[in-house]
Amino acid sequence: MGNVSDRHGNTHSGDDLPRRALSRGMKLASLPLGLAGRATVGLGKRVTGLADEILGEQAQKRTAEHLFSVLGQLKGGAMKLGQALSIFEAALPEHLASPYRQALTKLQNSAPPLPASSVHGVMERQLGEDWRDRFSSFDDQPAAAASIGQVHRAVWSDGREVAVKIQYPGAGDALRSDLRQLARMAPLFKVLQPNFDVKKLTVELRERLLEELDYELEASTQRQFADAYRGDPQILVPEVVHAGPEVLVTEWVEGTPIAKIIAEGTPETRDRAGLLLATLHFSAPARAGLLHADPHPGNFALSEDGRLVVYDFGAAARLPDGMPLPVGRLTKLTLEGKAEEVVEGLRHEGFVPPGLEIDAPAMLDFLLPMLEPLGADEFQFSREWLRKESTRLTAQGSEAAKLNKQLSFPPSYLLIHRVTMGSIGVLCQLGARARWRDILEEWLPGFADPSES
């Protein structure tokens, strides 16, 4: 395979792969052992209750630091699962969750690029020995790298500039191995959220993550999005040019990355980006029957004509009937203060476990602060607002934290919730201001009229 230097100047050899794979497995295998050891030795009792009743602050901090440290050193599947498990971040204090997010952010840009010989090998296996005949030119240096693949810039034979997404050889095996190992971490999440059906949740996560290995499925998803938004004045989806199991060719579309707008954009540009991200989130289920499920800044840009450019369709929630009606209906009922109807609806959807008695006004007190962006004429998202909500929901002994740990989580809502929370995170990074309620009234079933059925 030959040697290759990553962007940090470290040299790797193809002969390193078995050793690195073994190292990955050993690090991942250490997670459940380390977690169990600290939980047991820390207070000398089995993990049978809530996290804040089992682990002291120092033991909890050491546990989280070990988790973050191991995930932060890994690539591929571990990073993907780490991103997916961000749903559980709210169960951890901010000072523990922050290093985790930072490690994953660094990891996005740290995968060493494939050497040209490996790139050519993948292209030959996927497109045939004459693969170069399909291109007028092909840049061997990757333009971007991600967890399970990298992107090259090229010109298709008809003159179109294209992005060629190539899956790392062995990425599928690595992801499956990581998922098997990390599934053993389920007891930790059972501790953090006792009423979650962790087994079903982890099965749901595994199925969704494994879909990202199938570039032909991703191409089908991207075509579905492109058909829904073709000619749209707000959303721009690059067209698919060619697809194979491990190679995906799409039109190359330039734009100002959302990450750059977060770092140095004007307030007007930040507001525009946030408004379009929210519009995509709520309109896609109605227009495409899909939800773009990877809402991090690297997957979006603003084109010169002010449209939101959407990249990477490997992760998507399939919603052929649109967003579930109860989402809009219960959101509106909460804003209207109809406490008993809200509790009844949450129980029907599986968020309130059978037999659990819930004080309806307390449920409103729990939910309404989360919906503050929808209650105001205009609302500006911010990191400070997000930290305040995180603290409210996780502060030891708070009423919100107590109620949060009594609730369950239906697996069918997992991806919708994860994407919504991820999108809110990006809006807070942008500091975007808008009248968010208008978007929901246009696109979210049941929100404009809660009596809809």
Residues 183 and 282 in one domain: no
pLDDT at 223: 98
Query: Do 336 and 438 share a structural domain?
Result: yes
pLDDT of residue 15: 40
| Digitized pLDDT (tens) for each residue of the chain, 453 residues in all | 333 333 333 334 434 433 444 454 445 444 444 444 433 333 333 332 334 433 344 544 555 555 555 554 554 555 555 544 443 443 344 555 555 445 444 444 455 678 899 999 999 999 999 999 999 999 999 998 766 789 999 999 999 999 999 988 877 777 777 666 666 666 665 555 555 666 666 776 677 777 788 899 999 999 999 999 999 999 999 999 999 999 999 999 999 999 899 989 999 999 999 999 999 999 999 999 999 988 888 899 999 999 999 999 988 999 999 999 999 999 999 999 999 999 999 999 999 998 899 999 999 999 999 999 999 999 999 988 988 888 888 777 889 888 988 888 888 888 898 889 889 989 999 999 999 999 999 999 999 875 665
Please state the domain count of the chain.
Answer: 2
Residues 98, 22 within the same domain: yes
- Which range of residues forms the domain containing residue 444? 255-453
Say how far apart CA 220 and CA 231 lie, in whole Å: 19
- Residue 151 belongs to some domain of the structure: no
Q: Do residues 315 and 444 share a domain?
A: yes
Task: Answer whether residue 165 is part of any domain.
Answer: no
Q: By three-state DSSP, how is residue 163 classified?
A: strand
Domain edge (last residue) among 154, 186, 211 = 211
pTM higher than 0.85: no
Do 198 and 313 have their domain in common? no
Q: Are 306 and 181 within one domain?
A: no
Asked if the structure places residue 177 within a domain, the reply is yes
Q: Widest CA span of the chain, in angstroms? A: 69
pLDDT score at 183? 63
For residue 217, being part of any structural domain is answered with: no
The per-residue pLDDT for 46 is 33
* Catalytic entry in 178, 271, 294, 312: 294
Q: Is 225 inside any structural domain?
A: no
Q: Are residues 260 and 198 in the same domain?
A: no
Rounded-to-integer distance, Cα 152 and Cα 139, Å: 6
Alpha carbon separation from 219 to 231, 249, 251, 300, 326 (Å, rounded):
19, 9, 12, 17, 30
* 260/196 same-domain check: no
Among residues 156, 191, 211, which one ends one of the domains? 211
Asked if 339 and 312 count as a contact pair (C-beta separation under 8 A), the reply is: no
Would you say residue 26 lies in a domain?
yes
Contacts of 129 (CB under 8 A, 6+ apart): none
Task: Tell whether 318 and 177 lie within a shared domain.
Answer: no
**Spatial distance between the Cα atoms of 123 and 281, rounded to a whole number of angstroms:** 34
Q: Has residue 147 been placed in a domain?
A: no
Of 289, 301, 307, 324, the residue nearest 416 (C-alpha): 324
pLDDT given for residue 171 in this prediction: 75
Same domain membership, residue 270 and residue 323? yes
Is 96 inside a domain boundary?
A: yes
Does 309 share its domain with 415? yes
Is residue 294 among the annotated active site residues? Answer: yes
